[in-house]
Amino acid sequence: MDLLGDDFPYAATALQGKHALVCGASKGIGEATAKMMAKAGANVTVCARSTEALTALCAELSELGPGEHTSLTLDLEDSDAIVAAIPALLEQRGPVHILINNAAGPPGGPLLSNTLDEFEAPFKRHLYAAHTLTQLLAPGMEEVGYGRIIQIISTSVKEPIPNIGLSNTLRGAMASWAKTLSRELAPCITINNVLPGFTNTGRLGSLAASIQERTGKSLDEVQSAWLSQVPIERLIDPLETASAISFLALPASGGIRGVSLAVDGGRLRSI
């Protein structure tokens, strides 16, 4: 499938006039989401730590859709920087209608091997940043009568994954945070989570390398073990995940609130 070409699943004006802030947009699912939303007509602000990667991405977005696209270089672990940057963004670009909370996950390993200090940076990058951004952006969403807040987290919120204990803990906290907010936010603002399964990204590659180092198995053996759990027998394309995220951002998705949607090829066994 060419999800940015002939197989693009949405109208080119589906998100026209909407301003999307996509965090963690320099690679992987975040990058794919930015491209999908640009193709759907949104004005996209891409956020990450790499100015160079964001500049290149904005050039690509301009070729995909008619929106106005810009970059925001920001370290999501720095709460003070977020508080300083967002008002300036709103002043320059107007209200954000769609917030995509996304950031790199923590390293793998058994939970008992983690020190308390190792919890700090991932929680800042994910939970603290998502909470701060939502506090800053929700009032503007309510004022304009439209808001979509979407977290890219993990299937581990349904079924914890072995040997990524810190990530399991963090993702569960994010899901509970979002579910709580689904009962508190204004009626015009939805909040939902997308749970990627085994997705063809650099993050999955690093996890495979970690397993190889720990177990001595080859990368092919590691990937084969993963795919044996997936009914569709392949990795997920990041654009497939981005398609689900974009769907939750649409005006027509206003009745979906507080859900965790798995995009995992059917791997989860829970209902």
pLDDT score recorded for residue 218: 80
Joined together, the tokens standing for residue 3 give 């999800």
CA-based nearest residue to 26, from 56, 66, 2, 4? 56
Whether 172 maps to a domain, the answer reads: yes
Has residue 207 got a pLDDT over 70? no
Whether 14 maps to a domain, the answer reads: no
pLDDT in tens, 94-126: 999 999 999 998 988 899 999 999 999 999 999
The dihedral formed by the CA atoms of 9, 13, 16 and 22, expressed in degrees to the nearest 10:
20
Whether 87 maps to a domain, the answer reads: yes
pLDDT score recorded for residue 108: 85
The backbone torsions φ and ψ at residue 104, rounded to the nearest 5 degrees and listed phi first, read -65, 140
Q: How far apart are CA 210 and CA 103, in angstroms?
A: 19
Joined together, the tokens standing for residue 175 give 């899901």
Whether 257 maps to a domain, the answer reads: yes
**Structural domains in the chain (count):** 1
pLDDT score recorded for residue 53: 96
Query: Does residue 98 contact residue 247 with C-beta atoms inside 8 Å?
Result: no
Q: How far apart are CA 261 and CA 154, in angstroms?
A: 10
Q: What's the CATH code of the domain at 184?
A: 3.40.50.720
CB within 8 A of 130, min separation 6: which ones?
A: 101, 151, 174, 177
Whether 162 maps to a domain, the answer reads: yes
Full-model pTM: 0.94
Q: Directed axis angle between helix 129-144 and helix 79-93, to 10°?
A: 20
Query: ∠ CA 209-28-9 to the nearest 5 degrees?
Result: 135
Whether 11 maps to a domain, the answer reads: no
Q: Tell me the residue range of the domain where 131 lies.
A: 19-197+236-263
Mean pLDDT, residues 31-44 taken together: 98
**How many whole angstroms from its chain centre is CA 160?**
19
**DSSP class of residue 82?**
H
Whether 216 maps to a domain, the answer reads: no
Whether 214 maps to a domain, the answer reads: no
